[in-house]
Amino acid sequence: MLRIEDRDVPSSEPASRREFLTAGGLTAFGLSLPDIIRAAERPRHTTSTSFGRAKSCILLWMGGGPPQHETWDPKPDAPAEVRGEFKPIDTPIPGLRVGELMPRVAEQTPKLCVLRAMATGINAHSSSGYWVLTGVPHPRGDVEVAGQFMVNDWPCVGAMVNRLSPPRRGLPNVVTLPEQIINNPNDPWPGQTAGFLGRAWDPWLITCDPSKPNFALNEVAPPPDVSPLRFDERRSLLEQVNRHTDLLAAGDIGRYGANVQQAFDLLADRAARRAFDLMAEADRVRDRYGREKFGQSCLLARRLIEAGVRLVQVNWPREPGDTGSGNPLWDTHSKNAERLKKVLMPQMDRAYSALLEDLEQRGLLDETLVVWVGEFGRTPKINGSGGRDHWGRVFPAVLAGGGVKGGQVLGASDRIGSDPIDGRTRPEELTATIFHALGIQPDTEIRDPLGRPHPISRGDVIRKVF
């Protein structure tokens, strides 16, 4: 048997293209099938009850770089050009104050562990983001690398989870939505793919707008003119072609085969289709998340996790027509206060708090790790255009669920939010912590294209989080 599915393939039958590629891919970079099984089934640490507490993870990516001063690390005693026009507000946790534009999130702080001293020291969106998303610094350092992909790119966290989780049919293990991360005008970042592991392990990117009325995803909805019988006939025909073809290749062809099989699995699986059916949610629930693209994407992430997806990454979406200069996403180089107040913070405050509440009410929060983070923060001093610029020297990340001990702050920045003064956290420590929570040993080894062994994370688990 060549693949872990619900169907045995007798050894007398010729292997299909996909089966051949799947079997070959399992050992292509130092992880054999037994390695994957061992990684998934490795006994838990007897000294750590937090290992493997999370069955799944939702990664909320605040693309563009949210400001630390107006969110998780306000500086009310700093000069006006640093503290800005917004005041901090109290939370249920004594001593923990957050920006006044996040009142709903403030009420959720008993669930949250705030890391106030994340740092990369890099001010370029894509290279700092690469480090946060993979746990490995980009070799080019502090320069923009959007649109530049190399054969030795390090796999993102989602790709590692995809590779180290048991294969399944129906819904994929790892999903990214509602769009990929790009720099303007339309350059995707490295660090959000499987890199040297091979494209078959890329997170399943679903480009969609769940906020549209009567949202339906084409990827999981058969065409209306295709009956179940015709659908089965088409699938059978494709399987026969794959089984008898002698086209054995890797790269894009292998990725195509995996995608076709995944698409058929999604089309054929009723549970998968139900997971995407936002119309099944009560209006009050959809309204609580917010009817914007980000809010409905967070709701869709909850439904996917509930249906068994291992990791969902929700990228902060761009606004219509946003491919030029200006203030895309959280990149508030000008009119920072206005954009935060009118556009960014209301959506984030509503959707993030709704997600945490919803997961808790459904009994899912304790087994779902929720990570809030962006690629960097913003400059302490407001510039002449009323904005804040790129700042990788200190920025926040926030964890909840999955065994995380809420109501605490780890790390601190200086009096103007410029540099860490305690508990500096590097991205590799965040990735190690995510793997740990999901029951994947951070020291699990993979091999790069040259055959050299590497642990999937070189960081230490942030034990105080749990």
For 297-331, the pLDDT digits (tens) are 999 999 999 999 999 999 999 988 776 667 899 99
Determine how β-strand 311-315 pairs with β-strand 56-61. parallel
Peptide bond into 178 cis (omega under 30): yes
The stretch 88-116 carries a mean pLDDT of 98
The count of residues in the chain is 466
DSSP 368: E
Q: Which of 55-69, 217-231, 350-364 has the lowest mean pLDDT?
A: 217-231
Residue 307 is encoded by which pair of tokens?
Answer: 């249906």
In this predicted structure, the answer to whether residue 234 has a pLDDT above a threshold of 60 is: no
| pLDDT given at position 236 | 55
Instruction: Specify the pTM.
Output: 0.84
| pLDDT given at position 265 | 65
Residues 157 and 132: their CA atoms lie apart, in Å, by 9
Residues 185 and 146: their CA atoms lie apart, in Å, by 10
In terms of Cβ atoms closer than 10 Å to its own Cβ (0-12, 13-18, 19+), residue 92 is exposed
Match 């099938």 to its residue by tokens.
33
Determine how β-strand 390-391 pairs with β-strand 377-378. antiparallel
In this predicted structure, the answer to whether residue 250 has a pLDDT above a threshold of 80 is: no
Query: pLDDT grade, residue 246 (50/70/90)?
Result: very low
Least Cα distance to 357 among 107, 98, 91 occurs for 107
Dihedral of CA 335/338/342/348: which sign?
positive
Q: What is the pLDDT of residues 1-16, one digit of tens each?
A: 222 222 233 333 333 3
The C-alpha torsion from 329 through 102 and 337 to 76, rounded to 10°, is: -130
In this predicted structure, the answer to whether residue 26 has a pLDDT above a threshold of 50 is: no
In this predicted structure, the answer to whether residue 350 has a pLDDT above a threshold of 70 is: yes
| pLDDT given at position 214 | 85
Mean pLDDT in the chain? Answer: 85
Contact 102, 348 (CB under 8 A): yes
Q: What is the pLDDT of residues 384-439, one digit of tens each?
A: 999 999 999 999 999 999 999 999 999 999 999 999 999 999 999 999 999 999 99
| pLDDT given at position 228 | 55
In this structure, how many other beta carbons lie within 10 angstroms of the beta carbon of residue 443?
A: 11
Least Cα distance to 74 among 371, 66, 354, 121 occurs for 66
Determine how β-strand 88-90 pairs with β-strand 97-99. antiparallel
Contact 205, 314 (CB under 8 A): no
| pLDDT given at position 459 | 97
The stretch 292-301 carries a mean pLDDT of 98
Residues 305 and 368: their CA atoms lie apart, in Å, by 8
Least Cα distance to 29 among 162, 249, 196, 203 occurs for 196
